[in-house]
A and B are shown apart, each in its own frame.
Chain A
Amino acid sequence: MAIKTDAIGKEWPTTTYEVGKEKIREYATVVGLDNPVHFDREAAKAAGYRDVVAPPMFCVVYSAPALAPAMFDPEVGMNFATMVHGGQQFEWGEPACSGDEISTTAKCLQIFEKEGRDGKPNNGFYVFETVSLNQDGAEVVRGTWTNIVRGV
């Protein structure tokens, strides 16, 4: 059966997220960061940031909610039983700081099949993009999310 590709190019509604100092602390602590720019307002300002700055990978906190409806969209039709998060890329622009309001829009970039190795069934590749802008319209991060569905 050929993979459904109708959703290529589809965009989902924009979500917004306000970055908070304590949420940055929580994230930075879990991944073991100790740079005071993630915890202390004065240290962040001394380093040239508007306010406490989020670690780059904090971007998952504000961009993933925009992707959720894309993942579950029946028009995309991913089979979650055999799906894995295969790959991820982020490209960062303007830093995200406490107090920033970030808007993220998700889009389906590609859906395609690849032949399975050693006679296994084909795999489906579902590639989404999220673009996150801050309150000034500056791009904060661009994410490329690749999900692989085994045996389409």
Chain B
Amino acid sequence: MAELNAGDPIAELRVTPDKYTPHRYAGASGDFNPIHIDPEFAKAVGLPNTILHGLYMMGLVARTATEAAGGDPRSLKRLSVEFRGMGAPETEIAVTGTVKAVEDGRATIDVVAAQGDNETIKNAEAEVEL
């Protein structure tokens, strides 16, 4: 069982998605929106290049929160996020978090996902069972 206390930082996750991660995530998830996989399309709609799927980054946040709770996928009970910035492939993502409260065998964790100063997921809150 994971030991979490209010105020504790959780173990951070650092991942660098490669150039083709959005293609693999598109296949895995079924979301083939061309802004994620077609550089010409992405540029035509005003983006700098293809961008990561927000739900892929939310998947990394879910992974980080689950691992903080000991790794059993059943332990993640709720996750809410705000998508604030666009994520780029081939750039490191850091997922960090702090335990906000622990009550009745459940911990609430505040989480952020960022690429450098660009916070792609903000105000994320995970509720995990301990």
Contacts and interface: CB of A to CB of B under 8 A. Distances in A.
A91 B77 contact: yes
A57 B58 contact: yes
A32 B24 CA distance: 12
Interface residues of A, number: 32
Nearest to B77: A92
B56 A30 contact: yes
A53 B73 contact: yes
A134 to B, nearest CB: 14
Interface residues on chain B, size class: 20 to 34
B56 A61 contact: no
Contacts, number: 89
B66 interface: yes
A74 B21 CA distance: 33
A36 to B, nearest CB: 11
B13 to A, nearest CB: 8
A33 B31 contact: no
B62 interface: yes
User: Interface majority SS on A: helix, strand, loop or mixed?
Assistant: mixed
Interface in B67-84: 71-74, 76-83
A26 B28 contact: yes
B83 A85 contact: yes
A59 to B, nearest CB: 10
A2 B60 CA distance: 38
B59 interface: yes
B61 to A, nearest CB: 9
A87 B28 contact: no
B106 interface: no
Interface of A: 23, 26-27, 29-33, 35, 37-38, 47, 53-57, 60-61, 64-65, 84-92, 95, 144
Leading 7 A-B pairs by shortest Cβ distance: A89-B80, A31-B59, A57-B59, A27-B28, A57-B62, A30-B28, A91-B78
27 contacts: A26-B28, A29-B24, A29-B28, A30-B25, A30-B28, A30-B56, A31-B59, A31-B60, A31-B63, A35-B71, A35-B73, A37-B73, A53-B74, A55-B73, A56-B66, A56-B73, A57-B79, A61-B29, A64-B30, A86-B82, A87-B83, A88-B83, A91-B77, A91-B78, A92-B78, A95-B74, A144-B80
